[in-house]
Amino acid sequence: MVVYSSAIPVARALSLDISSTAKKFVARIVSALDGQILLMPTFTSGYDSNNFLSLDHEKSSTGIISEVFRQTANVRTPSAFFSFSATGPDTEKFTNLRPHFAWGEGSLYEWMFNSDALIVTIGLHPTHCSFTHYAESLMEDKINYRKHKKFSGTIELEGHTQTLDEVLFVRHTTPQAINDFTWLSEPYRAAGQELVRKDGVLISAIPAQRKIEVILKFLQKNPNALISNREDICDSTI
């Protein structure tokens, strides 16, 4: 299971402060999924001015719940931008991932797809999920608002330093493409995405392969389907 979450609506539902909410939430979900793999995004903003990043110490930029999870998880995956933390059986395999393309072949995103992991959002819009970018990577030969950009540096992971090369599929800056996934809500529901609201907190769940199938159907018709300023991109000379 891959969980994307926001602490604010959960804290409101539990009538707790944000810090207590994050700790309670993580303890509950880890206990409930004992014996299963649980992943959460613990993204970072990349290397410092010395081209170094300590994944052992750098906090998650994707919210306090993911940061609490990072502190208790078994492993963190090696990426200067798109690291995930994980608990569960055989999660050590994730530390060995060295994909050439951060979202592509051999990446954690590919593992999520091949394993048909359950993609869950809690307290977020049900389309708010970085896994969507995997579909963009599959259509990279058709998408013209992104380009490949290589990042290299030194990371610290599990007490060891190592060089790391990653190629990201980044958006062009002129014009800047603006991703918009919100319109996928209805297609996801039609494809079987489960939605439930508990104590005011919206929770969604959809298998990874079904999610990507839905997105690819639209990208194959229009490679700019996932951006809101399509006219700007179509009119550009990129």
pLDDT of 162-218, one tens digit each? 999 999 999 887 788 888 999 999 999 999 999 999 888 999 999 999 999 999 999
Q: Is the pTM of this model over 0.95?
A: no
Gap between the Cα atoms of 79 and 65, Å rounded = 19
pLDDT in tens, 22-72: 999 999 999 999 889 999 999 999 999 999 999 999 999 999 999 999 999
Task: Report d(CA 234, CA 178) in Å as an integer.
Answer: 13
Does residue 237 surpass a pLDDT of 50?
A: no
Say whether 124 sits in a helix, a strand or coil.
coil
Please state, in angstroms and rounded to a whole number, the distance separating the CA atoms of residues 216 and 43.
25
Counted domains in the chain = 1
Residue 216: predicted pLDDT: 97
> At residue 81, does pLDDT exceed 50?
yes
* Beta strands per DSSP E along 88-233: 118-122, 146-157, 160-171, 194-198, 201-207
Residue 77 half-sphere exposure toward CB, CA atoms < 13 A: 28
pLDDT at 234: 59
Domain residues for the domain of 48 are 2-235
What does residue 122 show for φ and ψ, rounded to 5 degrees?
Answer: -130, 115
Which residues fall within 8 angstroms of residue 198, CB to CB, at 6 or more apart? 13
